[in-house]
Chain A
């Protein structure tokens, strides 16, 4: 192999040294320029940001910002608000029946499914907006059960972050309260994580025994 040199006897690496040094920076700049689609279009629409993770029986702390439309507190309209909620799993067990609800689309456990009752203890500043709360069960293969999607809960349950029979989605005066919600999985699947989220991209993970 011949090494080409210029008139001054400098080799290829010496002549192109500056550009080689700049190349990684240019690649990084190009990647940053392209990533706007990832950040603006994809990132906010997926549950990708695990805010906290708690071992079995431990408490996870959810901290996430949301853009308030002022539907609950008009004083917060059009501002970014930080939502802080502590959550702990009290119990996750199979349930024989489903909650009774006049708006339920599913009134008995479907064939091929298992119902799980998820009991949580939540702590938040009274008045914290808990709208769009989702309690999701995960199995080892990553299947996510209980996501609300665009529709309402087919079991006719209310906000899974709220105490039974509450009519709104605002943290109660007690500051700490318990919730109970039912999630359907495929029969034979056993959840090993609970996710709590108030919409993409933030969530907290609670490990199950």
Chain B
């Protein structure tokens, strides 16, 4: 008699366990939570701490033409983003840089005219890098950059479960006025920062 009751308990246990597990799995937001990058938001001038490195976007400019290794004319307009990386605990390669506009269109950084798309960063000093993005003029308003050590790959493969800085550029239509057809904006390749770097001013 007790054997039969035990068998019924086992038979009941299976659907209950499956039901509970199914309920649990559906509660976990897998698409958003399991392999997406950890986004750390910041603004121009703020130091964003990513765990593996600190990032400060120091300046954002807009130009029709840039001049690094020869003058380059933008297809749309260049958004030029100056940033300083400092690694936390070891020398790193920093390879992820893209600009995302208000309509979620992504623009890869360009290497035209000496603009860099990647650099290395060390823990003892800051590393300055200038990213350039050639974007449509209507992409300026509400644009932000996503900067991290992993490249974007086809589907963000190298940023999975890793921190990525999301920095709002604070641009609007008025930025186009300064982009004018004046002198080309001077850009330089990555280099260490020797003077006081962002985030260290005022430190004891």
Judged by DSSP, the binding face of A is: loop
Whether B194 pairs with A111 at a CB distance below 8 angstroms is yes
Whether A149 pairs with B125 at a CB distance below 8 angstroms is no
A153 to chain B, nearest CB (A): 10
Whether B89 pairs with A144 at a CB distance below 8 angstroms is yes
User: For residue B90, which residue of chain A has the nearest CB?
Assistant: A144
Which parts of A23-39 form the interface with B (CB within 8 Å)?
none
B193 at the interface (CB under 8 A from A): yes
0/1 string, B78-92, CB within 8 A of A gives 1 = 000000000011111
Whether B90 pairs with A113 at a CB distance below 8 angstroms is no
- Chain A interface residue count: which class? 20 to 34
Assembly CA distance A98 to B161 (angstroms):
39
A86 to chain B, nearest CB (A): 26
A4 to chain B, nearest CB (A): 6
Judged by DSSP, the binding face of B is: loop
Chain B residues positioned under 8 Å from A185 (CB to CB): 123-124
Whether B197 pairs with A111 at a CB distance below 8 angstroms is yes
0/1 string, A145-172, CB within 8 A of B gives 1 = 1011111001000000000000000000
Chain A residues positioned under 8 Å from B92 (CB to CB): 149
User: For residue B2, which residue of chain A has the nearest CB?
Assistant: A2
Whether A107 pairs with B194 at a CB distance below 8 angstroms is yes
Chain B residues positioned under 8 Å from A184 (CB to CB): 122, 124-125
Whether B192 pairs with A144 at a CB distance below 8 angstroms is no
Whether A154 pairs with B3 at a CB distance below 8 angstroms is no
Which single member of A142, A143, A150, A183 contacts B120 (CB below 8 Å)? A150
Chain B residues positioned under 8 Å from A15 (CB to CB): none
Whether A147 pairs with B90 at a CB distance below 8 angstroms is yes
Assembly CA distance A106 to B122 (angstroms):
13
0/1 string, B113-130, CB within 8 A of A gives 1 = 000000010111110000
Chain B residues positioned under 8 Å from A151 (CB to CB): 120
0/1 string, B171-202, CB within 8 A of A gives 1 = 00000000000000000000111111100100
- Chain B interface residue count: which class? 20 to 34
Whether A142 pairs with B200 at a CB distance below 8 angstroms is no
Whether A186 pairs with B123 at a CB distance below 8 angstroms is yes
User: For residue A141, which residue of chain B has the nearest CB?
Assistant: B89
Chain A residues positioned under 8 Å from B31 (CB to CB): none
Which parts of B115-150 form the interface with A (CB within 8 Å)?
120, 122-126
B103 at the interface (CB under 8 A from A): no
A142 to chain B, nearest CB (A): 6
Whether A143 pairs with B90 at a CB distance below 8 angstroms is yes
Whether A149 pairs with B192 at a CB distance below 8 angstroms is no
B154 at the interface (CB under 8 A from A): no
Assembly CA distance A150 to B193 (angstroms):
18
A193 to chain B, nearest CB (A): 14
Assembly CA distance A141 to B126 (angstroms):
20
Assembly CA distance A113 to B89 (angstroms):
14
A101 at the interface (CB under 8 A from B): no
Assembly CA distance A1 to B150 (angstroms):
54
Among B89, B92, B123, B195, residue most surrounded by chain A Cβ atoms (within 10 Å):
B123
Which parts of B64-98 form the interface with A (CB within 8 Å)?
88-93
Assembly CA distance A150 to B149 (angstroms):
14
A sample of 11 inter-chain contacts (CB < 8 A) reads: A2-B2, A2-B3, A110-B124, A144-B89, A147-B91, A149-B93, A149-B120, A151-B120, A183-B124, A184-B124, A186-B123
Q: Give B residues with C-beta under 8 Å from A.
A: 2-3, 6, 88-93, 120, 122-126, 191-197, 200, 203
Given A110-B194, A111-B196, A154-B125, list of 15 further CB < 8 A pairs?
Answer: A2-B2, A2-B6, A110-B197, A111-B195, A112-B196, A113-B124, A142-B89, A143-B123, A144-B89, A144-B91, A147-B90, A150-B120, A154-B122, A184-B124, A184-B125
Q: Which 7 A-B pairs have the closest CB atoms?
A: A184-B124, A147-B91, A149-B91, A149-B120, A110-B125, A111-B196, A144-B90
